[in-house]
Structure 1
Amino acid sequence: MESELLTRGLLYLSLAVAGIPGNTAVIYAFLSALHHERRLLPADAIVLHLALANLLVVAVRCVLEVLATFRIANVFNDAGCKGVIFVYRTSRSLSIWLTFVLSAYQCLSITPPGSRWAAARETFGRLLWAIFLAVWIINISVSSPSIVFSEGAKNDSKLLQNSINVQFCFVNFPSTYVKDANGAAQTVRDVVPMALMTAASLVILVFLYRHSRQVKGLRGGSGGGRGGAAGASAERRAAVTVVTLVTVYVVLYGVDNGLWVYTIMVRQTMSSALISDLRIFFSSLYAATSPAIIIMSNKKVKRNLRWGREERAAPASETGTSSTV
């Protein structure tokens, strides 16, 4: 195997090894919370949905790329390319939009009780199902051209002027106009939530800065109740988590979208497959690394993962005890 293919396969394998267990753990933790508490807070439901989208990104794209690169199995015929590219693009963009939805909700969550923004937060929580539905419709609609234009790479030497080479597949557009229109739609779909989540994160950072100054000013006073302080601390931890996720997103997807704009603006060259690989890698890197941020910073996830380990350990200890009696 060529060293370039070996490196490619190992990189995708590392994303799969990190992303699949991480996102599965986050999903398990929130499903466990739903089982124990009989409900999920809106922020928890958004993070659960985000983990599902990230799991699809890593499982559908990275795992299949590994299998094809190492010639274990190759599903990239015409039907396989249509399905894989559609699911990947939809789940990737869902990850982007859900990160924005999470940042918007957290921005509303830090507002003081009784304000009109607090009322907007309550409305946001009630209509969360409609927001999820709208996000799905938007992203499926923009990703649907991949079902029509994607096909397997039957002849690697044949690359049409209006085609995009994605290693094992081609996306063949019928004209330059269709290619540019599809590229513009995908760019707008990604840039809009990026700009909005960046603005929401800036609002959160300004709030955290002002709040820290207020705390310093009141530190010499009598202080408030411990319950209020604990609640504020939880909100700050959640806010910092969201800002961290948004920062990672902006860095990784900024590179991804920059490469995408380059792909649709220049004529095809021999390096187009490499550029496509870099795009997939950077967008999948967010899906693989974001669970680590969530697990490290979310106490509910940590608690439910710990409960899961204790529940698995309990039957084993009971079996050991009964065997010794």
Structure 2
Amino acid sequence: MDISSTITIILFLLQTSIGAPTNIFILMAYAHINHTEKDLKPTDIILCHLVFANMLGLVTRGLPQIMSDLGLNNIHNDASCKLLIHAYRTSRGVSICVMSFLSVYQAITLAPSTTQWLFLKSRTKKYSIPYIICFWLFNMLLNAHTLSLMYAQRNGTIPGAQYNLGSCYSKTSVPSLGLFFKIIVNGHDVFFVGLMLICSVYILYVLKRHRDQVQYIQSTRQNSKVMAERTAAKNVITLVSLYVFCFGVDTGFLVYSGTLLIVPPLLYQIRVFISSCYALLSPFVIISFNKKIYRRLRCSHKEGTMKHINTN
């Protein structure tokens, strides 16, 4: 095993072993909050699905890549390959949709309380869960074509004209059909990321307007409400900025790969690693701005410290 392979394995191990448990901790914290306080806001519900999608993406992409780098390429059958790749692509699509929905929800929340906006505010708050369920179903159907393309190695051979996806392989589809699905999937990504950016620009505009007007607000209650909205909006902007950065770098590598006749395995691994960095970093952003989750993290740390002291 050469140095580059060793470094790749270490990076993917760190990414998966840190990112997956951190996402799971946030899900458990939200479950505990819902059980004890019954105080899950629509934003919390949206974040729960975002965290779950990110965790699923890390597990279904990171672990197969690690096994492939270790040379364990014959442990999957066709069914497991189809399931892994379909789950990964579905989780990636849901992550984009839910992150976009979070920015839309925050933009509508900050919008003026006019008749039109009040209607949208009530709709997004009331139907946030059905919207998210639709995102899951839509992305499952959108990526259903991968189920007919994915295969595992058979007796150490790679049947047919295919390209490597780690421990699994994908058959080359009919050119016209493959182009159609590429346009649909890429159009899906561009639409939701574009919507994300538009909402973020609007949020920044509203934040600037609030900053200019807050000096005229005399009520302490109004000041607290404005500050809470501004804080929530800044947190969403941070998550969006992180996502757009990871998405942009990944897209740049994808475009560059398209100019090459033969894509080096290392370049493909870098793309996979970068595309999963959002799932690794976003939980720490969520923990940093969510006081309830942060308090549970501190309590867990204190309990662990006390048990360690009592044991000694």
What is the TM-score of this pair, normalised by structure 1?
0.85
8 Å contact 2:34–2:40 — kept in the other structure? yes
For residues 74 and 221 of structure 2, the distance between their equivalents in structure 1, rounded to whole angstroms, comes to: 56
Aligned length: 310
User: In the alignment, which residue of structure 2 is the partner of 1:103?
Assistant: 103
For residues 259 and 143 of structure 1, the distance between their equivalents in structure 2, rounded to whole angstroms, comes to: 22
User: In the alignment, which residue of structure 2 is the partner of 1:22?
Assistant: 22
For residues 231 and 252 of structure 1, the distance between their equivalents in structure 2, rounded to whole angstroms, comes to: 32
Deviates more, 1:1-10 or 1:250-259: 250-259
Question: In structure 2, do the counterparts of structure 1 residues 314 and 10 end up closer, same or farther at CA, with 3 Å as the change threshold?
Answer: closer
8 Å contact 1:165–1:276 — kept in the other structure? no
User: In the alignment, which residue of structure 2 is the partner of 1:230?
Assistant: 224
SS of equivalent residue, structure 1 residue 165 = strand
SS of equivalent residue, structure 1 residue 224 = coil
Per-residue deviation at 1:276? 3.2
User: In the alignment, which residue of structure 1 is the partner of 2:262?
Assistant: 269
User: In the alignment, which residue of structure 2 is the partner of 1:172?
Assistant: 171
Superimposed CA distance per residue, residues 277-301 of structure 1 (whole angstroms, 9 cap, x where no aligned partner): 2332122111111101111112232
For residues 49 and 133 of structure 2, the distance between their equivalents in structure 1, rounded to whole angstroms, comes to: 12
8 Å contact 1:92–1:283 — kept in the other structure? no
8 Å contact 1:68–1:74 — kept in the other structure? no
What is the root-mean-square deviation in Å for CA atoms of aligned residues?
A: 2.8
User: In the alignment, which residue of structure 2 is the partner of 1:279?
Assistant: 271
Superimposed CA distance per residue, residues 214-247 of structure 1 (whole angstroms, 9 cap, x where no aligned partner): 22x43xxxx5232222222121111111111111
Letter of the 2:127 counterpart: L
In the TM superposition, 1:156-195 aligns within 5 A as: 160=161, 163-195=162-194
For residues 104 and 164 of structure 1, the distance between their equivalents in structure 2, rounded to whole angstroms, comes to: 37
Per-residue deviation at 1:18? 2.5
Per-residue deviation at 1:21? 2.3
Which of residues 219, 231, 236 is equivalent to 1:242? 236
User: In the alignment, which residue of structure 1 is the partner of 2:196?
Assistant: 197
Per-residue deviation at 1:38? 1.9
User: In the alignment, which residue of structure 1 is the partner of 2:86?
Assistant: 86
Per-residue deviation at 1:308? 4.9
SS of equivalent residue, structure 1 residue 101 = helix
For residues 73 and 234 of structure 1, the distance between their equivalents in structure 2, rounded to whole angstroms, comes to: 50
User: In the alignment, which residue of structure 1 is the partner of 2:63?
Assistant: 63
Structure 2 gap ranges (5+): none
Per-residue deviation at 1:254? 2.0
Question: In structure 2, do the counterparts of structure 1 residues 6 and 121 end up closer, same or farther at CA, with 3 Å as the change threshold?
Answer: same
8 Å contact 2:77–2:152 — kept in the other structure? yes
In the TM superposition, 1:44-55 aligns within 5 A as: 44-55=44-55
Per-residue deviation at 1:39? 4.2
User: In the alignment, which residue of structure 1 is the partner of 2:212?
Assistant: 213
SS of equivalent residue, structure 2 residue 276 = helix
Per-residue deviation at 1:211? 1.2
User: In the alignment, which residue of structure 2 is the partner of 1:118?
Assistant: 118
Letter of the 2:223 counterpart: A
Structure 1 gap ranges (5+): 321-325
User: In the alignment, which residue of structure 1 is the partner of 2:40?
Assistant: 40
Per-residue deviation at 1:114? 5.0
